[in-house]
């Protein structure tokens, strides 16, 4: 008799090339979108450095630094997951870090939104577009981490961890471009 585990293993092995291709298409498309957004932000910054500097002075770099540390720590837990026999704990810790990052970013928006009306809106709109789009990725990545933690498989763990690392990579690119200039 053929048990469930060997069938699942065969299915995972058979689907891995397709999943891997889709994963890399997703990753490269996401990187292309964020590259375009950050390039537009950089060009607008060059065209209006004084306006961007005035708006940037209202951003909380300290809290952005804390959020960065939280996200990268979350990435460390995610990185451990594929090497663990039971990856759920590390995936849940990574998801908790993602949730904390979301809370920190929403908190920052609540403080920054009232300041938006006092400044030229172009920089602030681009800031919210870029960081908000990233925040959506963190939120859904957090849900994916938690979902995979519930029913982990080798392919699912590797896939979600790869996606999570791309989300980290995008943030550590956003941070200097948007917050420091």
Q: Which residue has the tokens 């981490």?
A: 145
Tens-place pLDDT, residues 95-142: 999 999 999 999 999 988 777 656 667 888 899 999 999 999 999 999
pLDDT of residue 14: 53
pLDDT of residue 7: 36
Percent of the chain with pLDDT over 90: 70
Does residue 8 carry a pLDDT above 60?
Answer: no
Does residue 160 carry a pLDDT above 60?
Answer: yes
Residue 157 CB contacts under 8 Å (≥ 6 apart), including other chains: 81, 82, 87, 91, 148
Residue 71 CB contacts under 8 Å (≥ 6 apart), including other chains: 97, 98, 101, 138, 167, 168, 171
pLDDT bracket for residue 5 (50, 70, 90): very low
Give the whole-angstrom CA distance, residue 156 versus residue 75. Answer: 16
């Amino acid at each position: 008799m053929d048990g469930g585990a060997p069938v699942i293993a065969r299915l995972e092995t058979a689907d891995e090339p397709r999943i891997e291709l889709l994963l890399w298409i997703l990753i490269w498309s996401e990187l292309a979108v964020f590259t375009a957004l950050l390039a537009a932000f950089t060009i607008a910054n060059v065209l209006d450095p004084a306006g961007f500097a005035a708006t940037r002075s209202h951003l909380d770099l300290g809290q952005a630094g804390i959020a960065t540390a939280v996200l990268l720590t979350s990435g460390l837990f995610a990185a451990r997951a594929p090497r663990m026999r039971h990856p759920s704990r590390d995936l849940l810790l990574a998801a908790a870090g993602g949730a904390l990052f979301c809370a920190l970013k929403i908190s920052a928006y609540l403080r920054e939104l009232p300041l938006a009306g006092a400044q030229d809106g172009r920089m602030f709109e681009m800031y919210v577009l870029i960081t908000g789009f990233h925040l959506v990725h963190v939120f859904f990545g957090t849900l994916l981490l938690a979902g995979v933690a519930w029913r982990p498989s080798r392919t699912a763990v590797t896939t979600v961890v790869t996606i999570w690392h791309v989300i980290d990579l995008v943030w550590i690119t956003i941070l200097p471009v948007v917050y420091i200039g």
